[in-house]
Amino acid sequence: MLSIYSRNKNHFCDGVSRRGFLKVGGLSLGGVSLPGLLNAEAQSRGSSGPLGHKAVIMIFLAGGPPHQDMWDIKRDAPSNIRGEFKSIKTSVPGIEIGELFPKIAARAEKFAFIRSIVGAHGGHDAQQCLTGRSPRNAPPGGWPSIGSVMSTLQGPVSQAVPPFVGLSPKCGHDQWGDPGQPGFCGPAHTAFTPNRGGGSEDVELKGISLERLGDRRALLKSVDGFRRDVDASGIMDSLDSFGKQAYGVLTSSRLGEAFDLSKEDPRLVEAYGKGTEKLTADGPWKRLDQFLLARRLVEAGARCVTLGFSRWDWHGGNFKRAREDFPLLDQGVSTLVDDLHQRGLDKDVSVVVWGEFGRTPVINDKGGRDHWPKVSCALLAGGGMNTGQVIGSTTRDGGEAEDRPVHFEEVFATLYHNVGIDVGKATVTDLSGRPRYLVDQRFRPMPELV
Rg, the chain, Cα only = 22
In a domain? residue 387? yes
Contact 176, 131 (CB under 8 A): no
Residue 171 pLDDT: 94
Alpha-carbon span 417 to 385, nearest angstrom: 10
In this structure, which long-range contacts are made by residues 370-373, counting pairs with CB atoms below 8 Å and at least 24 apart in sequence? 370/315, 371/64, 371/122, 372/64, 372/399, 373/120, 373/121, 373/122
Alpha-carbon span 375 to 172, nearest angstrom: 26
Range of the domain at 296: 55-196+260-437
In a domain? residue 245? no
Residue 261 has pLDDT above 50, yes or no: yes
Q: How confident is the model over 100-110, as pLDDT tens digits?
A: 999 999 999 99
Q: Give percent of the chain with pLDDT exceeding 90.
A: 70
In a domain? residue 210? no
In a domain? residue 231? no
Query: Smallest Cα–Cα separation from 25: which of 250, 254, 252, 255?
Result: 250
Q: How confident is the model over 214-228, as pLDDT tens digits?
A: 555 555 565 566 556
As a whole number, mean pLDDT of residues 437-444 equals: 97
As a whole number, mean pLDDT of residues 38-64 equals: 66
Residue 408 has pLDDT above 80, yes or no: yes
Residue 419 pLDDT: 96
Alpha-carbon span 113 to 73, nearest angstrom: 12
In a domain? residue 315? yes
445 against 18, higher pLDDT: 445
Q: How confident is the model over 184-219, as pLDDT tens digits?
A: 999 889 999 888 753 323 333 434 444 544 555 555
pTM of the entire predicted model = 0.83
In a domain? residue 13? no
Residue 91 has pLDDT above 80, yes or no: yes
As a whole number, mean pLDDT of residues 52-73 equals: 94
Which residue type, as a one-letter code, is found at position 130? L
As a whole number, mean pLDDT of residues 285-303 equals: 95
In a domain? residue 5? no
Residue 432 pLDDT: 93
Residue 17 has pLDDT above 60, yes or no: no
Query: How many domains is the chain partitioned into structurally?
Result: 1
Query: Smallest Cα–Cα separation from 111: which of 269, 419, 333?
Result: 333
Contact 106, 79 (CB under 8 A): no
Residue 160 pLDDT: 85
Residue 257 pLDDT: 87
Alpha-carbon span 365 to 375, nearest angstrom: 22
The bridge status of strand 349-354 relative to strand 376-382 is antiparallel
Q: What is the dihedral of CA 74, 76, 81, 87, to 10 degrees?
A: 40
Residue 28 has pLDDT above 60, yes or no: no
Q: Give percent of the chain with pLDDT exceeding 70.
A: 76
Q: For the chain, what is the HEC assignment?
A: CCCCCCCCCCCCCCCCCHHHHHHHHCCEECCEEHHHHHHHHHHHHCCCCCCCCCEEEEEEEECCCCHHHCCCCCCCCCHHHHCCCCEEECCCCCCEEECCCHHHHHCHHHEEEEEEEECCCCCCCCHHHHHCCCCCCCCCCCCCCHHHHHHHHHCCCECCECCEEECCCCCCCHHHHCCCCCHHHCHHHCCECCCCCCCCCCCCECCECHHHHCCHHHHHHHHHHHHHHHHHHCHHHHCCHHHHHHHHHHHCCHHHHHHCHHHCCHHHHHHHCCEECCCCCCCCCEECHHHHHHHHHHHHCCCEEEEEEEECCCCECHHHHHHHHHHHHHHHHHHHHHHHHHCCCCCCEEEEEECCCEECCCCCCCECCCEECCCEEEEEEECCCCCCEEECEECCCCCCEEECCEEHHHHHHHHHHHCCCCCCCCEEECCCCCEEECCCCCCCCCCCCC
Alpha-carbon span 75 to 22, nearest angstrom: 63
CATH code assigned at 403 = 3.40.720
Residue 351 has pLDDT above 80, yes or no: yes
In a domain? residue 95? yes
Residue 247 pLDDT: 58
Contact 283, 314 (CB under 8 A): no
Alpha-carbon span 326 to 309, nearest angstrom: 11
As a whole number, mean pLDDT of residues 157-185 equals: 93
Residue 396 has pLDDT above 90, yes or no: yes
14-28, 86-100, 202-216, 293-307: segment of lowest average pLDDT: 14-28
For 95, half-sphere exposure in the C-beta direction (CA atoms, 13 angstrom radius) is 25
Q: Which backbone phi and psi does 174 adopt, to 5 degrees? A: -55, -35
As a whole number, mean pLDDT of residues 150-178 equals: 92
Q: Which backbone phi and psi does 350 adopt, to 5 degrees? A: -95, 140
